[in-house]
Amino acid sequence: MKKTLLAGAIGAIVSMPSHAAFELLKTDNTTVTFGGYAKASLNVSKFSEGAPASSSLGRIYYVPSTIATSGGNGNNDDTLLDFTARETRFNFGTKTLIDGHVITSYLELDFMSGYPGDERTSNSTSPRLRHAYFTYDNWLFGQTFTTFENTTALPETTDFLPASDATVFNRQPMVRYTSDSGAWQFALENPETTYSPYNSASRVDEDNSILPDLVGRYNMKGDWGSLAVAGLVRQLRADTVDANGDVQDNETKMGFGVNLSGLLKAGDMDDFRFSVTAGEGIGRYVALNTFNSSNVKANGDLDTISTVSAFAAYRHFWTEKLRSSFVLSGTWADNNDTASQALTKSVQSVHANLMYSPVKPISFGAEIVYAERKLENNDKGDLTRLQLSAKYTF
């Protein structure tokens, strides 16, 4: 019984998003927790080739694909100021011990991609689902971060998603198994194919797959820090249109990717965080789907897009309450020769911040971001942003 309880607890810890929480209720065999954070941010953003629409998420955090591009000299630049509290989130969790088994559940919502109200009076927005799952001993059922993603390696930034142009990031429904030690994880996850039509830079999403995305991961941890190695195999399946306008039903291609990521301790408090991801047809798993999984060739076949993504971040503590992170990140794509020249070729960025915590649950931050997006035809655009934030974790 003790072994079963330990295995379930380890599985829950490895699977659950990191969060602080306090107990709402505790009975003989069940604990209910509540947590989250309240956060306010101010962005001053300069877009070299024009700003995205006011409703765009690219106005409140760095979304690489929203950086406009041109072959000009940046004379269309826009500088804008935006306030937001939409990153605020809350969660509920439960843990139950019953008949020698550990059962946990987790539900989290935020307000990042709901339907925002206008900014004249209410600035309201609707909640959205982030996580919704339960675990039974070593098994997880529901929606959470993809097993291909190592959240421990994410840098500390004021931005909503650190290193968004390079990190693996995805939340989706899945079934996942975690070994007793927490070292091995295997998952069947929700499939979705995104591709660019023939000679077009637009995106088409199709839910035609008949196989789940398969992810395997190995986790290592010690006094030195932690590392994770993950692999992804997926089926790309879509109804395409060839160069003659004829529909090609159920075109299929396999995609695959590998990721190495980790957090390495440097001295008593500092740390180095990194991630390297490479693959064919991994598309939506990296850089917020700036790159699709494939292009359509003249004959209607899917041609997978190769990408390489990497970030490196160093966090330094000036004092116990004052710290900084310095982040370099980017993704580079190898589009086929016949693909549209308006497809994104690369995105990259640099971040530097200063964060102060007068008491443990509160952080005030200031961050400078410079990011650039480049197309196959060498058109490009950039974003320069100052972000100020205040966050209270409960």
Distance from C-alpha of 277 to C-alpha of 309, rounded to nearest angstrom: 5
Q: Residue 176: which domain range?
A: 29-393
Residue 281, domain CATH? 2.40.160.10
Position 9 confidence tier, pLDDT thresholds 50, 70, 90: very low
Residues above pLDDT 70, as percent of the chain = 94
Question: What are 343's two structure tokens?
Answer: 């497809």
Of 78-82, 113-117, 198-202, 244-248, the least confident:
113-117
| 165 has a pLDDT exceeding 60 | yes
Of 183-192, 241-250, 327-336, the least confident:
241-250
Distance from C-alpha of 259 to C-alpha of 119, rounded to nearest angstrom: 41
Q: Return the residue matching tokens 């030690």.
A: 181
pLDDT for residue 1 = 41
Q: Return the residue matching tokens 């877009």.
A: 47
pLDDT single digits (tens) 209-238: 999 999 999 999 999 999 999 999 999 999
Position 32 confidence tier, pLDDT thresholds 50, 70, 90: very high
pLDDT for residue 3 = 41
Q: In what order do the strands lie in the sheet with 204-206?
A: 204-206, 193-196, 294-296, 302-304
The number of helices, as runs of H, and strands, as runs of E, in the chain is 1, 22
Question: What are 213's two structure tokens?
Answer: 């995305």
Position 17 confidence tier, pLDDT thresholds 50, 70, 90: low
| 144 has a pLDDT exceeding 90 | yes
Mean pLDDT of the chain: 93
Distance from C-alpha of 324 to C-alpha of 366, rounded to nearest angstrom: 10
- Of 288, 278, 283, the closest CA to residue 308 belongs to 278
Position 11 confidence tier, pLDDT thresholds 50, 70, 90: very low
Residues above pLDDT 90, as percent of the chain = 85
| 36 has a pLDDT exceeding 70 | yes
DSSP 208: -
Position 12 confidence tier, pLDDT thresholds 50, 70, 90: very low
User: Does the residue 254 lie in any domain?
Assistant: yes
| 200 has a pLDDT exceeding 80 | yes
Contacts of 245 (CB under 8 A, 6+ apart): none
pLDDT for residue 15 = 45
Q: Which residue(s) pair with 95 in the sheet?
A: 31, 104
Number of independent structural domains in the chain: 1
pLDDT for residue 21 = 78
User: Does the residue 5 lie in any domain?
Assistant: no
| 56 has a pLDDT exceeding 80 | yes
User: Does the residue 109 lie in any domain?
Assistant: yes
User: Does the residue 9 lie in any domain?
Assistant: no
CB atoms within 10 A of CB 207: 10
Question: What are 61's two structure tokens?
Answer: 């955090």
Burial 256-267 (b: 16+ CB within 10 A, else e): ebebbbbbeeee
User: Does the residue 176 lie in any domain?
Assistant: yes
pLDDT for residue 22 = 82
pLDDT for residue 336 = 85
pLDDT for residue 55 = 87
Q: Average pLDDT for residues 375-384, to the nearest whole number?
A: 96
Q: Average pLDDT for residues 357-372, to the nearest whole number?
A: 98
User: Does the residue 24 lie in any domain?
Assistant: no
| 82 has a pLDDT exceeding 50 | yes
| 7 has a pLDDT exceeding 80 | no
User: Does the residue 23 lie in any domain?
Assistant: no
User: Does the residue 7 lie in any domain?
Assistant: no
Contacts of 169 (CB under 8 A, 6+ apart): 145, 149, 161, 285, 286, 288
Contact of 168 with 291, CB cutoff 8 Å: no
Distance from C-alpha of 82 to C-alpha of 254, rounded to nearest angstrom: 41
CB atoms within 10 A of CB 120: 6
